[in-house]
Amino acid sequence: ALSLTGSQFVVQISYVEVYNERIHDLLSGGGDSANMNTNLRVREARDGVVVDALTHQSVSTAEELLDFVSFGSTQRVVAAMKMNARSSRGHAILSILVRELHGDAGERVGKLSLVDLAGTESSEKSHAMDGASNVPLRREEAKHINKSLWALGTVIEKLSTGSAHVPFRDSKLTRLLQETLNGNSLSAIVVTLRTEQENVDETIGTLRLAQRAKTVRVVAHRNTPASEVGRLKLSIAEMQRQLQAANQNIVELQTALAATEARENAQLQEMHEQARICHEQEDAPLAGSNNAKGRVADAASPQSSSSSSMQTQELPQTPPESAVGGAEAAAAAAAAAEAAAATSANAHKQSQDPFAERERRSLELEIAYLKGKNRQLRALSVLNAATKRWREEMAEAAQQTQSELLSQIDDHEAGIRDRDAEIAHLRALLNELSSQQQQP
């Protein structure tokens, strides 16, 4: 750890080799290649692509860093080939991570990645010293080297043309270099060339790769220190604001629901009032007609009885010569009675029609009322179900977000404690080294 005024720096390095599409941890094993961690898993994390169980060594001086680089280089797989007596059989990536700690103000992180790419392999030009056909492992290494370099060339071509899909997952090499090629990074490429005439094809291919790499556009931003706790507080405040807005939306929905209910109730009351008025208007003419019929019947009854008595009294005085005239009078009376019966039937039918019309209109009003009430109940049911579901979703999201934020805060606090312990350990080492240097 290095200390400056107001800041403290922690420097860590990692060293890996991509060999036959497997990732080897070159800083592990304690110098014994048999105990070295091989075939490590690569996965996506919140901070980018990470390698599980990868060794990160803390250094405080350039000499320590170079010692670790020399140690890792001794664990790389090399072999004597026709074109190179010490040919690398895989790609190596050395990563130097620098953290600038600002106390409660957070931290700023910078990363330098140095990549050593193995050269393309040709079975005709660059085979093993004892012959490619006799060394199957060398052929397998050459196949994976050429495959990963081809994948790297494809990725650079896609990035240079602005393609929507970049196949970083085609190779472990391109997956590890995803942040370097496409992230918040500045990249540089250095190529080595052979000047012999017989190697002109490889030289041209290498120059074309470098030319495509130069056309890749990257946008790097300065990493400004920010407090993780402050960001979490802002996230909590934003979630609380969203929750308040959700509660306000619920209140507005409830208000709109109450207004809709009041409007529907007023409309139903108005329909009932109209039905009552219609019933009263229909009942009034029918009652007057019945009263008039009663008065006519009362007036007609004495006259009929008096006529009957008069006919009874006058009948004996009728002379026998007027029998024909009496028969004609009887026929006329029968016709008048038939006409009166028809008139009475028509009047009865007319008196029954208003009752049927009133019942029909009453039923129509009741049906309209029930339909309106049914629509209102369905609308209220749908609105209540939607409101309930929305409340449950908001409560679940708020609880999940709160749990995630609390977990992130706990992880951040645990990380701070681990860094503090690491810094204390490094300070103790520095003090011990300083005391050893001061001793004669």
pLDDT at 319: 46
Separation CA 275–CA 282 (nearest Å): 11
pLDDT at 350: 53
pLDDT at 320: 47
pLDDT at 307: 43
Q: Three-state secondary structure along the chain? A: CEEECCEEEEEEEEEEEEECCEEEECCCCCCCHHHCCCCCCEEEECCEEEECCCCCEEECCHHHHHHHHHHHHCCCCEECECCCCCEECCEEEEEEEEEEECHHHCEEEEEEEEEECCCCCCCCCCCECCCHHHCHHHHHHHHHHHHHHHHHHHHHHHHHHCCCCCCHHHCHHHHHCHHHHHCCCCCCCCCCCCCCHHHHHHHHHHHHHHHHHHCCCCCCCCCCCECHHHHHHHHHHHHHHHHHHHHHHHHHHHHHHHHHHHHHHHHHHHHHHHHHHHHHHHHHHHHHHHHHHHHHHHHHHHHHHHHHHHHHHHHHHCCHHHHHHHHHHHHHHHHHHHHHHHHHHHHHHHHHHHHHHHHHHHHHHHHHHHHHHHHHHHHHHHHHHHHHHHHHHHHHHHHHHHHHHHHHHHHHHHHHHHHHHHHHHHHHHHHHHHHHHHCC
User: Which residue bears the tokens 């529907």?
Assistant: 264
pLDDT at 14: 94
pLDDT at 310: 41
Q: What angle do CA 298, 303, 304 make, to 5 degrees?
A: 95
pLDDT at 229: 58
pLDDT at 29: 76
pLDDT at 270: 78
pLDDT at 13: 94
pLDDT at 26: 92
pLDDT means per 10 residues, the chain with 440 residues, are: 65 93 88 78 83 91 92 88 79 91 70 88 63 67 88 87 87 89 80 83 85 78 58 75 82 82 79 72 57 49 44 43 54 68 58 61 76 77 80 78 76 75 75 67
pLDDT at 134: 52
Ordered domains of the chain (ranges, CATH) = 8-125+135-214 (3.40.850.10)
**Judging by beta carbons within 10 Å of its beta carbon (0-12, 13-18, 19+), is residue 25 exposed, middle or buried?**
buried
